[in-house]
Structure 1
Amino acid sequence: MLVALDPLSMEFLYYLLLNLFILFIILKVFSQVNKNKNLPPSPFALPILGHIYLYKKPLTRTLQSLSNRYGPILFLQFGSRPVLVISSVSLVEECFTKNDIIFANRPSSIAGDHLTYNYTIFAWSPYGYHWRNIRRITTIEIFSSKSLQMSAKIRKEEICSLVSSLFRRSTGGSSQHFNLKFMFSQLMFNIIMRLVAGKRCFEEFIMDLDEQKRLHTLSKEIFAPGMIFELGDFLPILRKIGYTEEKCQIKIHKSRDSFLQNLINEFRRKQIHSSTTTTGEDKKKKTTIIEALLSIQEAEPEQYSDDFIKGILLLMFTAGVDTSSLTLEWAMSLLLNHPDILQKARSEINHNVHDRLLEDYDLAKLPYLHCVINETLRLYPVAPLLVPHFSSEECTVGGYNIPRGTVLYANIGAIHRDPKVWTDPDKFMPERFEGVQGEKEMGFKFMPFGVGRRMCPGANLAMRVVALALGTLIQCFEWERVGQEQVEMHETNTGVTMPKADPLIAICKPYPSMVETLSQV
């Protein structure tokens, strides 16, 4: 039986069919264009939005599930931005050897426009003379072997302060629950602040409510690594109509800039005050990063502005605090879930260190401790997608054409758990790193600090801090979980780094053999 449609219904039906036809043509043309360009495999893309509809937090897991389906090289279109995702050893090697200079740049973003001093910060500066100059200065003044040796005393004193606080609170007669995420953040802020300005952020690890709020402000509102991209970076129209986090970025920048400028001004006042009382030999001695940078500025004030100095200081806080504190938290979480490995690490320390606290020079004699840290970084790399790269010109990767202006994500989190590369990839097994002499020996299958010319320059500093802190905590205290359940190992991902979803809470008590030593710290 046929039903007659009224003219209005017929008009709507024609309109609907016309729109579906137009949509079909657009999708057909779009797919044909991509096919002709010989682009890598790609999921179905919507007009204008591209693959934004596929995005879910954490981004690492989203990209991993897509790579599992489409292969180790994946091409996405996030709005107006082409994105390349690679998740195999061979593709990473190709990108960062044959195409290393092409991918040596960083993408621009709303956050970058406001938080990087016009992209002059080392991590975000375009590849070229300015970037090479900053790398030279930071290598000499901050990350050289001499500088690391000179800062050993600071690292030791701050770690002693942490264990002393734990000792006092864990010997009160009742079990104390310690928020290790909280304490590791304090530790790293104090170390970085002393390296930068010669003073501590927090005088005591036992803090009142006001100090806790200040730590939260520093770690979450001022010096958090933050988001690389937001929706407005992929859909520029959203920025034009004000539908972005731009106002928030401006507010964060003002807070950061004020904090850093105050540190610089404080040192300038000290220099003026001490200029008449300091001997010539003392003037040559630079004990903090600010002093060293101000000395460089004094020699060439036109080239090295205050913004240049603040950019380097900012990188120390944003890249130095969060990454090392998170690595410590992941490592302790794994050890609490694997008490046999915890005991093996302690036995190694006891065998090599007697009747005193662990020192920086002892670390070379503790290969298993380094295996524990490397295995932690394999399973839970702090930046599982690294900091994104950006192609400066068209190139080929894996036999596919990659357009100029493509954002590159190297999914090292996937490579670190690739069953083709690692045996039992999801198992915590530090022994797999035994006999490995340094990260370079692992090639492109282990890259917790990045790879190529843009890899993290502070890797040696981070490893020394983490090794000494973790080793001292293992040496001094017997650690237990809160309850019988395993520590949850779920992660969250809101920016560059990958923190634990739930802060690590643990119980500890000093080993009887360490009581006398700890009471003298």
Structure 2
Amino acid sequence: MDRKKLAEASSSQVLCWDCKLSAFVPFFLPTVTLAPNCNHNCHVTNSVSRVVVIFPLYYKNPPSIFLGKHQRSASREQRPLPMDAVLVSLRNTSTRVLTSLALGLLIVAVVVGKLLIGGRRRLKCPPAVPGLPLMGNLHQLKERKPYRIFAKWAETYGPIYSIRTGASTMVVLNSTEVAKEAMVTRFSSISTRKLSNSLTLLTSNKSMVATSDYGEFHKMVKRYILASVLGASAQKRYRGLRETMIENIVNILHLEIKDNPQSAVELREPFKTEVFRLALKEALGKDVESIYVEELGQEMTKKEIFDVLVVEPMIGATEVDWRDFFPYLRWVPNRSMDIKIQRMVTRKRAVTRALITEQKKRIALGEAISCYLDFLLSESTLAEEQLTTLVWEAIIEATDTTLVTTEWAMYELAQNPKCQDRLYHEIQEVCGSEMVTEEHLPKLPYLIAVFHETLRRYSPVPVIPLRYAHEDTQLGGYDIPAGTQIAINLYACNMNKKDWDEPEEWKPERFLGSNFEPMDLHKTMAFGAGKRICAGSLQAMLVSCTAIGRFIQEFEWRLKEGEEDNIDTVHLTTHKLHPMHAYITPRAMNRSGLRSS
């Protein structure tokens, strides 16, 4: 190609080889940036110098086809370098570089693999469920009901086994014996929470009782919530609020069947509204019908407040972010997930702050009622973000477990007339014409059995939030290395045929034997065990049992047609996907003692 032809190429806007090379080289070496300095009339010298600088291999041993006669005297006429030669050289160089890198990585992988395998052979590790390279067993958990898959694997691999979730190893516990060993006996080695990215953000980096690592902060805030809201003494103070809540629900149901006697009623909506009202009174000292949220610039109704504080965070907590399984790729953006969770966090924080601000105004005016927020403010030991998160925790935790357990219990009683009749007759014998109250509960063993059997069959949290071993330990006779994640599958523990007769069946009478104390809260481990047992377990039992007793005392329940098969649950939880609908008939009794708000 002579100067005349090169000039013609330039005039027709055809890029020279140097420009093509400048765009092509970064494909092989992304960190190299070639400065554009071509006016479409450059020659081989520029291209050759760049290639030599970029590829040191060719600088020491340049192939003749590449440089050849172009390295002769600089005074001689310079000629353009054929593009074929450049491409061949680039291809050969990139092939050698990539091959060298691949071989190096392979050698490293083999050495590390041998070391790991050798270390594994020295340990007695739990049996491993076969999986795929890199992914591990993630592809087998795509149905988003991991607790069912875990229970199925336990039939093959035993009550304790390990799986791979991307880059992490997880040991899954599927029996009551080994679960209690982890939560009680080995607690000192397995007391640290392992949270997803979503939960870390939603809980303000573990600033809650339920999600904080066991240590001074956890013990301090658990002491706070027990002393002011959920402990036995605090529960006595709030008993009137709980009884009012239940009677409000009963009155709402009476009004519904009075207006529409032939229609089925939905229990969830009135129960959700009233238990949320109770949570607000306990946490903030006052019910809230609406509030202006300055940070969001809008007035929010009670339903909108409930959605922001309870519904949205529950959805966010079950969202799966693939980066949780590959920590070394955490820097890779996942914009849709990040935006969704950050929006939830912002809205939750803004609404909670607005509620706290209103209570502070009442305190300044001397109008405040003693509540959890007052207690936290009086301690003066918490940062603002911690205070906000703890108040939110008291609201959400008082709402969730109680609602889930009560709805499933009423569903089972409505489709089991014999169980419903047995409970009703027990209530009649103990209470007569008096309303069921918390004082009656120790005398109502079948009612308590209904509560525990519902927790067993429909545990609100089928898999306890992940923990990880912060030191080497043992479980079930196996060695558990530090850093291993621990998943306690309560669903499998409570559906184990070795421990439970016909576990698929809902049979309250199984809890009436001599093996169980009527008021024992830990039969099914639904509230955990050991030092990390749920702080709200007592309130959940008092509210659910009293509510179930009053509903059966007041009405005869029968499921709406087609409801028998309506047992789908929400993703990772056992929350009933669709609200229960039932036909209810008032029973003949004296209702003179009913309370209303």
Q: Give me the TM-score of the superposition, normalised by structure 1.
A: 0.84
Structure 2 residue 509 is matched with structure 1 residue 431: yes
Partners of 1:392 and 1:427 lie apart in 2 by 38
Per-residue deviation at 1:239? 3.4
Whether contact under 8 Å (1:476, 1:514) holds in the other structure is: no
Aligned with 2:401 (options 323, 338, 342): 323
For 2:467 and 2:431, locate their aligned partners in 1 and report how far apart those are by CA, in whole Å: 43
| Structure with max Cα Rg | 2
Which residue does the alignment assign to 2:583?
Answer: 507
1:466 is the counterpart of 2:544: yes
User: How does 1:293-332 map onto structure 2 within 5 Å?
Assistant: 293-297=376-380, 303-332=381-410
Distance of aligned partners of 1:398 and 1:520 in 2 relative to their CA distance in 1, 3 Å threshold: closer
Alignment of 1:312-461 (within 5 A): 312-434=390-512, 435=514, 436-438=516-518, 446-461=524-539
1:50 pairs with 136, 145, 151, which one? 136
Matched residues in 1 for 2:577 and 2:467: separation? 26
Counterpart position of 1:157? 244
Q: Which whole-Å deviations, capped at 9, do the CAs of 1:341-363 have from their partners, x for residues lacking one?
A: 11111111122223343222222
AA aligned opposite 2:452 = N
Tell me the matched-pair count. Answer: 481
> What residue is the counterpart of 1:119 in the other structure?
206
Distance 1:178 1:416 in 2: 31
**Equivalent residues of 1:84, 1:408 under 8 A apart:** yes
In structure 2, give the amino acid aligned to 1:67. Answer: A
Q: Which has the higher contact order (CA 8 A, sep 6+)?
A: 1
Equivalent residue number for residue 284 of structure 2: 197
The alpha-carbon deviation at position 50 of structure 1 amounts to 1.6
Partner of 2:334: 243
SS at match of 2:556: strand
Matched, 1:221 2:297: no
AA in 2 matched with 1:374: H
* Alpha-carbon separation, structure 2, partners of 1:406 and 1:88: 18
Shift in Å, 1:28: 8.1
Quick check: 1:63 aligned with 2:143? no
Once the two structures are TM-superposed, the CA of residue 489 in structure 1 deviates from its matched residue by 3.0
Q: Between 457-466 and 115-124, report the one with greater CA deviation.
A: 115-124
Measure the CA separation in 2 of the matches of 1:211 and 1:320: 16
Q: What is the SS of the residue equivalent to 2:330? A: helix
* Alignment gaps of 5+ in structure 2: 1-98, 291-300
Q: Which residue of 1 aligns with 2:564?
A: 486
The residue number in structure 1 matching 2:70 is none
Tell me how far 1:95 sits from its aligned partner: 1.6
Q: Give the C-alpha shift of residue 308 in structure 1.
A: 2.6
Q: Deviations over 1:77-120 (max 9, x none)?
A: 11122111011233123223331111111014312331222322
Amino acid in the other structure paired with 1:500: K
Aligned counterpart for 1:272 among listed residues 364, 367, 370 = 364
Distance 1:343 1:324 in 2: 23
- Is the CA contact 2:126–2:479 (under 8 Å) kept in the aligned structure 1? yes
SS, match of residue 67 in structure 1 = helix
Q: Determine the structure 1 residue equivalent to 2:225.
A: 138
Letter in 2 for 1:437: E
Q: Which amino acid aligns with 1:254?
A: T
8 Å CA contact 1:225, 1:318 repeated in 2: no
The letter for the 2-side match of 1:273 is L
Cα separation, partners in 2 of 1:440 and 1:171, compared to 1, 3 Å: closer
Q: Which amino acid aligns with 1:239?
A: R
**SS in structure 2 at match of 1:326:** helix
Tell me the CA shift for residue 378 of structure 1: 1.0
Instruction: State the one-letter code of the partner of 1:43.
Output: V
2:375 corresponds to 1:292:
yes
CA distance in 2, matches of 1:320, 1:225: 18
Q: Give the equivalent residue in structure 1 for 2:36.
A: none
Whole-angstrom CA distance in 2 between matches of 1:358 and 1:322: 23
Quote how far apart the aligned CAs of 1:520 are. 8.0
Stretches of structure 1 lacking an aligned partner (at least 5 in a row): 1-14, 204-209, 298-302
Deviation at 1:220, TM superposition (A): 1.9
Q: Which amino acid aligns with 2:424?
A: R
Matched AA of 2:517: Q
1:27–1:47 Cα contact (<8 Å) kept? no
Root-mean-square deviation (Å): 3.1
Equivalent AA in structure 2 for residue 402 of structure 1: I
Q: Percent identity?
A: 23
Contact 1:176–1:508 under 8 Å retained in 2: no
SS of match in other structure, 2:411: helix
